[in-house]
Amino acid sequence: MSRFWKIVLLVVAVLVVGFIGVRMLGGGKKGNADTTAASAGKEGQERNAGPVPVTVVDAARQDVPVYASALGTVAAMNTVTVSPQVGGQLISINFKEGQEVQKGDVLAQIDPRTLQASFDEAAAAKRQNQAQLATARSNYQRSNSPEYRQYVAKTDLDTQRNQVAQFESAVAANDASMRAAQVQLQYTKVTAPISGIAGIRAVDAGNIVSAGTALVTLTQIHPIHVVFNLPERQLPDVRQAQKAGPVTIAALDRNDSHVLTDGGTLDVVDNQISSDSGTFRARALFNNSDNSLWPGQFVNVRMQLRTIAGGVVIPTQAVMRGPDGEYVYIVKPDSTVAMQTVKSGVEVGDSNVQITEGLKGGERVVSEGQFRLKPGSKVTALKPGETPAPPTDAELKAAAQQDKGGGGRRGGGPR
C-alpha cells in the first residue's frame, strides 16, 4: 500500500473516533440534565403541594364502661315433662301446642269412670260399716248400762266392746280407701305443674296411656337463664363487681348488632374453673317479659364489670401501629402534625377506644387520612360529612410495607 493511502486511512480513523467521543459527551450532558430537571421538578412539586385533607376529632374525656363479653346459650328456668300418674283412655287434650299455660291449668283428661267406681265402692263400704258400728255401739251401751250389766256375762260384754272397736277400724279403713280413690280420681285431670310454654304434644286424644307416658314438655321462660363461660383471668374482676352490687348484663344477637334485652343480672358464678379450657361458668337471669330470649338460642353476653371515670376516648381507626408501638397524629396549632406515642385500653362501643397513656384529653387527633402524613406535614381539617380521598396504589404499597414492619392501623388496614 502506498504512503498516500496510509495517510488517508489514518485521517478517517481519527475522524470516526472524534465523532463517537462528541456523541458520548453530548448524551451524558443530556442525561444529567434530564435527571437534574426531574429532581428539580419533584422538589418543586413537593414544595408546591398543598395541605393534606384529613378528618380531625377531639380526644374526649368521658366515663368508660368496662365489659366482659362471651358467647352464651339461653336455658329455660325449668323444663318439665308432663305425664299422667294414672292409666286409662285419654279423652281430651285441653291445650294448643306453643300456647303459654299457667300452673294448675288442666292440660288433659283421662277417662275417670273406673276410678270413680272405685271411689263409690269405698264410700258404700264405709256406709255399711258405719251402720254396723252404730248397731254395735248401741248393743254395747245397753249391755253396759247399770240396769242390764248384772244380767250380761263379762265375756259377752267384752265381745260387744271388741265389735265396736272392729267396726271403728273398718270405718277408718274405708276413709283411707276413699281418700286414695279420690287422689287417683283427681289424677285423671292432668294439670300443669309450672307456668310455661307448651311444646309439641307426644300423644293424641283417644289413645290408651299408662302412668308415666309423656304427653308434652313445658318450658318456663319467665324468667329465663343465659349460661356462658369466661376466661379465668376475669374471675377477680367478676368477683369484685359482685361485691359492689348487682352486676348488669345485656344479651345481644350473634352479630353484636342488636341488643335483645339489657335487663339481666348475674345470677351465679360456678364454684370451679375448668382445667381443660381454663374458663369458669356463669349464669345470668333475665325477666324476658317480651319473649326476646328463647331456650337453646345463642346470644352474645355483655357484662359490665366497672366504670372508668373520665377516660380519654378517640376513634379506634385513629390509632396506628409502628415498630415502636401504637401512635396517633396530633394536629398542632400551626396546622402541622406530630406523632404521639399512645397506649390503648378497653374498646368503647363498636368504633372507639380508651387511651390510657399519651393523651390527656382535648388534643386534636387525625382519625382518617393518616397514610399521607409524616411528622411536620401540613393538614387541613375536613368539614363534617366529608372524607379524605381513598389512598392510591403507591400509598397502599407503602402501607403494606409498613405492615410488614409492624405498622398499620390498629385492628385493620387502610381505610
Cα–Cα nearest to 193, from 221, 219, 213, 211:
219
Read off the pLDDT band of 383 (50, 70, 90): confident
What's the count of helices (H) and strands (E) in the chain, helices before strands? 6, 21
Looking up cell 375536613, which residue turns up? 382
Of 151-155, 217-221, 360-364, least confident by mean pLDDT is 151-155
Of 13-27, 144-158, 192-206, least confident by mean pLDDT is 13-27
pLDDT value, residue 42: 44
Read off the pLDDT band of 150 (50, 70, 90): confident
Per 3-state DSSP, the chain is made up of helix, strand and coil in percentages (nearest 5) of 35, 35, 30
Q: What is this structure's pTM?
A: 0.65
What is d(CA 250, CA 236) in angstroms, rounded to the nearest whole number?
20
Which is more confidently placed, 141 or 394?
141
pLDDT value, residue 350: 76
H or E element in which residue 147 lies: helix 146-149
Retrieve residue 139's grid coordinates: 248393743
What is d(CA 252, CA 298) in angstroms, rounded to the nearest whole number?
9
pLDDT value, residue 347: 86
pLDDT value, residue 152: 76
pLDDT value, residue 88: 95
- In the chain, the amino acid numbered 59 is A
Write down the H helix ranges in 235-348. 235-244
Find the mean pLDDT for residues 237-264. 92
pLDDT value, residue 334: 94
pLDDT value, residue 32: 47
Cα–Cα nearest to 226, from 261, 199, 194:
261
Which is more confidently placed, 3 or 216?
216
Of 23-37, 111-125, 136-150, least confident by mean pLDDT is 23-37
pLDDT value, residue 92: 96
Of 236-245, 281-290, 367-376, least confident by mean pLDDT is 367-376
162 has a pLDDT exceeding 50: yes
Residue-wise pLDDT tens digits, 319-357: 999 888 999 999 999 999 999 999 998 888 778 999 999
Domains of the chain as residue ranges with CATH: 52-65+311-409 (2.40.420.20), 68-76+223-309 (2.40.30.170), 84-111+191-214 (2.40.50.100), 112-187 (1.10.287)
Across 210-248, b (16+ Cβ under 10 Å) vs e yields eeeeebbbbbbbebbbbbbbbeeebeeebeebeeeeebb
4 has a pLDDT exceeding 70: no
- In the chain, the amino acid numbered 48 is N
Rounded to the nearest integer, the mean pLDDT of the chain is: 85
Read off the pLDDT band of 44 (50, 70, 90): very low
Read off the pLDDT band of 19 (50, 70, 90): low
pLDDT value, residue 143: 80
